[in-house]
Chain A
Amino acid sequence: MRTKNIIIATLITMGLVFSSCNDFLDIKPEEVLLKEDALNTQEDVQMLLNSTYTVLFSGSFLGGRAQIISELMTNNILGSELDGDWFVIYNRSSSIFEGIIGGLYSEPYIAIYRANNVLENLDLVENSTERDNIEGEARFVRALAHFETVRLFAQPYGYTPDNSHLGIPIKTRSKPEGSIRETVGTVYQFLIDELKDVEVLLPSETDPEYDPYGAYPTKWAAKALLARVYFQMNDFENAYTYANDIIVNGPFEFSTETEQYEIGEDMVTLPKEFIDRYSTMGSNEAIFKSVTITVNQAGETIYVNRGGEFSGIMRSDNSVPFIKMTQNAYTTGTSDPLDMRAIAWYDKKEGFNVSKKFNDTDNLSVPIFTITELKLIRAESAAELGTNLSTAIQDIQDIFDRAYGTGNRIAPTTANALIVEARNQRKLEFIFEGHLGQDLKRIGALGREEVIVRGAPWSCPGSVLQFPQAEIANNPGFIANPEGGC
């Protein structure tokens, strides 16, 4: 009996010693959540979904870098004032080492990873409507991230007749595994399929109690993205359908309100949208934009800059910005004495041509889709198709009225002239916002005319960014882009 007691006592002691040994060895990192504690409730899933937006709108991606790089592919930015990676990109000679490109490429895939993670944990959401909404949002974020990336790292849709040219990796699972580049055709098909589902999953408006600033995407955002995707594909029929649907059926209005602003010494009346498009509270006609305003952990209302890269290198009120405008772009933008956009957006600072679009605030809300863009898509698509010309004419007229003053300029009436004018207005409305770079590629891919940008064709290899070293090195068989040649 005694031996038995001793044995039991020894075993218990050993057990205690071993368990305390295990405690001694059990040192967890602090101030972070362990994986097993992180995703357990619906709230956790929503917080993870919420985190995809901070990545999407980080300065390295849609908070400015993606747009500015598209703009670098035009003749709008003064190249001689650039240096480092920015110059290399402008020079269309990017290679595997540019850190700026590395950051740009990583961000969307982080957002995609988190979105996939959300999608894999949907079973934690009980209510089916809420589940649909969460699924829709995650897939929307995923689609948007893929789209903006394929436009930068691959030749545009239409570069080859069957779009068998290489695009980017498509990630639909969070499991870390190798990636290969899908063809651009596959990528665009993926986008369309995804967005058509998302269209149905998302509500037509978010609950104002839950989303007072309308930050989260709705079905209209999905449609807007589809419009843009189709337009990029030069699929004018679908582009028209979707753009029209949003303009006609959506709760958004083309913003024509005006207000008095102090420009220099004078008070000038300008359309509010010209000043608000990039501001703290953001565009008045955005279908989807980033929001700067939020409460913080302490319950205070704070503002966070969601356009960090724009503020960093394009803002011109505090100092001469790194990104300056070419004389050509400046002249084009300011040559029309009636154009109020010239007053709102163009300036000279210490002899340099700069943009005022991103001034007057430390916290920028970045618009992703605006009614203005959709109207121009609708107009150009209609003109391309030769149908609904009256709608197209009216769209152009609305843009004219806002920019030049009501009735001061008359919209053209022929299809060809409408196409020319739509492209022109797109160039003027979205100066420094990154639209022109992609538009030039689209027009080039359309194949009707020669598009030469700063002496090189739109499709020269260097006009597409090179993948970062880490992507190529970690994926055996990954085919990098050809470089240079521009």
Chain B
Amino acid sequence: MKQGYIVHKLQIMLLLLFFSINAFSQQIAVTGKVTDAKDNLPLPGVSVFVKGTTIGTVTDGAGSFTIMAEKNATLVFSFIGYETIEVLIDGSNTSLSIQLSEATELLEEVVVVGYGVQRKRDVTGAIAKVDTKELMAVPTPSFESALQGQASGVQVITGSGIAGSGSVIRIRGVGSVSAGGDPLYVVDGVPITQDYFLRGNSGAMNNNPLATINPNDIESIEILKDAGSAGIYGSRGANGVILITTKRGKSKKPSINFSMRTGVVRPAYVPEFVSGSEYLQLRQEAWENDGGTGAVWLPNFTTADSPPEERAAAFEQAKTVNTNWWDLVTQTGFKQEYNLSFGKSGKWINAYFGGSYSDNQSYLKNNKYQRASGRLNLDTDFSDIIKFTLSSSYTYGVNHRVGAAWEGGTGAAMSTALPFYPVYNDDGSYFRYNSSANGGNPVMRQDLMLWRNFENRTINNLTVSITPFENFSVSASGGYDYMDFAEHRYEPQEYIASDHSGVAKMWPRYVNNLTGNLIVNYELNINNTHRFTFMGGTEIQKSSTAARYYEAIDVTGPYWDDIPHDDTNASFQETITKDAPQEWSFISFFSRVHYVFKEKYVLQVLARSDASSRFGPNYRYGFFPAVSGAWRISEEDFLKDNETLSTLRLRASYGITGNANFNSYAWFGTYSGTESNEYYNNYPIIYPINLENPNLRWETLHNFDIGLEFGLFSNRITGEIAFYNKITKDVIINRSNAPSSGFSTYWDNVGEILNRGFEFNLKSNNLVGDFKWTTNLNIARNHNEVLSIGDLSPDAVGGGTNDTRIVVGKPVGSNYLVRFSRIDPDDGLPIWLDKDGYETKTFSLDNRVVVGSVMPEAIGGITNTFEYKGFDLSFMFVFTIGGNLYDNSGKRQLGVVTDWQLRKEIADRWQQPGDIASYPKLTLNPANYPGLPGEWQYNSTMFLYDASYLRLRNLSLGYNLPKSLAQKIMANNARIYISASNLLTWSRFHGDPEIARDFENVADRNMSSNITYLTPPQEQVFTFGLDLSF
């Protein structure tokens, strides 16, 4: 090239000499047509410009262009997603035929790695990337749910069917008990607020801090899984890091995208309970089994002591009522979502605007989540030396809440709302069956109570980057995540049976999360043989949460309507309680050196030092180093020309990361403040609250990872196999203390947990050509084991509320239950197994043993996509192998007959000697099952199930309109599609096997996945969608 250039230069000078009359150099009109190399179809919108100048144009609808170029200039043809082509204009051809081929994705891709980007082939850590196309394939209201089955080793359990509920995500297993096990979420460089317990477990639902992030704004998600990648986040990287990068203006031609989705939603499962008459019959049977005579007494109508005539009358009356409570509180819901975005890269500034509105009803009546959001991303481009980058979003979300799970609604339909209770009394008032003021009736609650969550969220990041000289840049960045969240309730007079008009309550929370960092980057390239990237930086972060409680009595409306009330009313009263603010801070220093030798061997060393207000004074600063490397084996001479193996890359990493996701004030020893209002006998009191632990610190993860990436047949088949070993030490356990110590709980670094496993993913372009078939498969197997809990016993670890325990040698969250053996055919009583495995007819909680685990053995997903002439069809299956589900409500729905509904399976109960049955002889009195202290202690393997399941998560059929048709509506691209999610499920469980119930606290969230307690099933959604790009 060099030589040719000199020659041409001489030629030009000669020409100039010859044609010196011509003041201007020769301009040639070049025309041509640009087509897609794949299908020869014309490509409109391709940018054609003269290199080194501002002369440019764009191909028209037919792919044609005309441009004036100087002779011997170079024309550059570029189009998003295609390889850029440059053509020299030497005058020999002025009519060009250009074919652009799609950019080969794999090795030229750029991966976001945390405080920087790296080329995919230079990455030494275990990073899974999910791009926007894969993300948008599954319609979900909250984006993280769409990650399910997309990345190996990333377990995603979607929260229940309640609108706005969040998922539980675990990357390579659970390594924590009382500290948070969720990964760190970083949006455009800002570690965002991710508090699931902002309102605790109010209304049987945890907060979803990701609900306000609009999936349409997301460009890509990178999941950092090992120390080589997540290590740069130091004391917060142990559970993995999920980096979310939003879209930016990239194309020179303005790109406008509009998408619309509408759908209907039903529950994926409808639980089956007995009808009114069946319930009465079963209850009568239990009564007679117990020796009762006459009609059985009915809760809320008669009692055991009622005279026989009364009982009989109530029984007869009850036979005439058969209320289907489930039907009354569920519906077929409608969903709709609209997105409009605009992106353009301009001369001075690149901009991306996006706006979105969605209204997602769930299958619960009156329940929906509405969200309106906007985003503005700007990058300045006017100078090579200084650049500004702004990422800013605002979301307003309203969640119309209803009772669910143990709080009411569908939960009541599955428990205390019995079929012989009428909805209304004869006089038209609502029937109340619960001694609490609000009577229990789920229809009454649905009709009368007003309940909404409101959220305003804005996430912003502004970066200034200065490049004083080539390859060296300094950037300063400030991030601000502000959340203003409030739960509102209004309980009118009729609902709470009060003598005043009603009570309005409001729980506002305000979270201010500020991040600032300063980063220095330097790239050094020596002869293309040694390529160094140095990065060093410092970051500070502070978050502060304020919480209040407002309550107004004798008002006729909720706080969001400004609590209408009569000012002259003497019984109006308002109380405002202010909670103490919760604050925490981090100061960090970090550095990363990345070295590539001969474009084949990569070595990376990183280190981070974190200090946090959360750490006790004896452990203020933590140090987290990691070393990792990669070897592009396929670049070696012995493999370079191999026809089969087109890519082979080995990577490995070892490092130490930490988890700092625990209670901000846990280490302080505190006493009640003197502002505490308590007085005894005219004098104030003070008392100790929290036991001090000055040694409380982060959990330390020792993390080893090794992976082999391969590509066969010119990367027609690509994949990766990886192995990892993670040992978490100093696991924080909020241990329950012996009550005799005077303190109920104490935070301490006590335990050790192992996670070890394999991951395998494969992407295969099985068929290419007119009919395409691609398969994407990922599967991961994780072995989770508690190695030590210090000197604590399993029952001493506080937090799990669902009969799961932390037991050494078993996974986190082991089901700890009495083993059920069989039903005695002679007398119908249950036979259990004692601790040693011998049959016994006496139930005892002392016979509980570890019988199962909430952790799966393997998880994964398979997606098959077919494309033909604009049509695309894709099936996405997700699966879980191993692990157990425990139905915590089963003990009441299939146990002693009480004031709870009974499941249909109870039909298989023992009725007479000789019966071989699954459930024992019915009784109203727990004492009739020898040893059972009460109906709530019926904790046994009767309600333990295999958690394996296979689910058709998403099925979609789409059609890309041909460009000619699309252009009729001025669109570049138009796609219509229909899809169904959670269409089919195969499992051994009678209900929905995908369970992430409401959790009490952080430890519960770690230990109690796969435990259901009246948890509403997942949604089954049928969607019709339209995507247009202009």
Contact = CB atoms under 8 A, between A and B. Distances in A.
Interface string A86-127: 011001011111100010011001101110110000000000
Interface in B302-340: 303-305
Interface in B659-684: 664-665, 668-675, 677-684
A470 B585 contact: no
B793 interface: yes
Interface string B601-618: 000000000011100000
Contact of A473 (B581, B684, B736, B845): B736
B587 interface: yes
Contact of A171 (B682, B740, B795, B936): B740
A248 interface: no
Given A31-B580, A88-B934, A50 B684 contact: yes
A93 B680 CA distance: 37
B677 A48 contact: no
B742 A211 contact: no
A28 B671 CA distance: 13
A178 interface: yes
B742 A114 contact: yes
Interface stretch (A228-236, A280-288, A289-297, A418-426): A289-297
B658 to A, nearest CB: 16
Contacts of A93: 927, 933-934
B933 A176 contact: no
Given A211-B681, A296-B677, A470 B796 contact: yes
A470 B742 contact: no
Interface in B629-688: 664-665, 668-675, 677-688
A46 B669 contact: no
Nearest to A180: B740
Contacts of B677: 296-297
A48 B686 contact: yes
Interface in B771-814: 791-796, 798
A294 B587 contact: no
Contacts, number: 207
A265 interface: no
Contacts of A294: 679-683
B735 interface: yes
Contacts of A27: 583-585, 613, 664
Contacts of A28: 665, 668
B300 to A, nearest CB: 13
A468 B739 CA distance: 8
A35 B845 contact: no
A161 interface: no
Nearest to A473: B795
Given A34-B670, A38-B671, A91-B927, A471 B738 contact: yes
Contacts of B251: none
Contact of A95 (B681, B740, B798, B845): B845
A312 B332 CA distance: 44
A473 B684 CA distance: 35
A177 B746 CA distance: 12
Nearest to A149: B740
A249 interface: no
Interface stretch (A18-26, A192-200, A377-385): A18-26
Contact of A24 (B540, B664, B791): B540
A116 B93 CA distance: 99
A176 B611 contact: no
Interface in A62-99: 80, 84-85, 87-88, 91, 93-98
A258 to B, nearest CB: 29
A352 to B, nearest CB: 10
A93 B682 CA distance: 42
B57 interface: no
A475 B305 CA distance: 44
Interface in A1-48: 21, 24-35, 37-39, 44, 46-48
Given A88-B933, A295-B682, A470-B736, A32 B689 contact: yes
A186 interface: no
Interface stretch (A212-220, A332-340, A399-407, A443-451): A212-220
Given A297-B684, A476-B791, A113 B742 contact: yes
Report which residue of B580, B687, B690, B740 has the largest number of chain A beta carbons within 10 angstroms of its beta carbon. B740
Interface string A168-181: 11010010111100
A470 B738 contact: yes
B611 A109 contact: no
A268 interface: no
Contacts of B675: 31, 297
Contacts of B682: 212-213, 294-295
Contacts of A254: none
Interface string B836-847: 000000001100
Contact of A96 (B796, B798, B845): B845
Nearest to A351: B305
A294 B794 CA distance: 44
Contacts of A94: 933
A285 to B, nearest CB: 19
A35 B738 CA distance: 21
B583 A112 contact: no
Report which residue of B678, B845, B933 has the largest number of chain A beta carbons within 10 angstroms of its beta carbon. B933
Contacts of A35: 668-671, 688, 692
A53 interface: yes
Contacts of B678: 51, 54
A470 B739 contact: yes
B794 A48 contact: no
A109 B934 CA distance: 27
A304 B683 CA distance: 13
Contacts of B201: none
B934 A84 contact: yes
B542 interface: yes
A32 B672 contact: yes
B742 A213 contact: no
A205 to B, nearest CB: 15
A298 to B, nearest CB: 9
A48 B736 contact: no
A83 B793 CA distance: 31
B739 A105 contact: yes
Contact of B674 (A33, A34, A98): A33
A474 B793 contact: yes
A171 B794 CA distance: 24
A469 B795 CA distance: 7
A247 interface: no
B620 interface: yes
A471 B737 CA distance: 7
B587 A25 contact: yes
A344 interface: no
A313 interface: no
B741 interface: yes
B937 interface: yes
Contact of B679 (A31, A114, A295, A468): A295
Contact of A47 (B587, B684, B740): B684
B610 to A, nearest CB: 10
A484 interface: yes
A472 interface: yes
Given A80-B303, A169-B740, A476-B791, 17 more contacts: A25-B587, A27-B613, A31-B675, A32-B670, A32-B671, A33-B671, A38-B686, A50-B684, A51-B687, A53-B680, A95-B845, A105-B739, A110-B742, A297-B675, A470-B744, A471-B738, A474-B735
Closest CB pairs A-B (n = 8): A113-B742, A473-B795, A35-B669, A51-B685, A38-B671, A474-B738, A27-B613, A31-B580
19 contacts: A25-B611, A25-B613, A32-B672, A35-B692, A46-B683, A87-B934, A88-B933, A105-B740, A109-B741, A113-B743, A176-B743, A297-B675, A469-B795, A470-B739, A473-B794, A473-B795, A474-B741, A474-B792, A476-B791
Interface of B: 303-305, 540, 542, 580-581, 583-585, 587, 611-613, 620, 664-665, 668-675, 677-692, 735-744, 746, 791-796, 798, 844-845, 927, 931, 933-934, 936-937
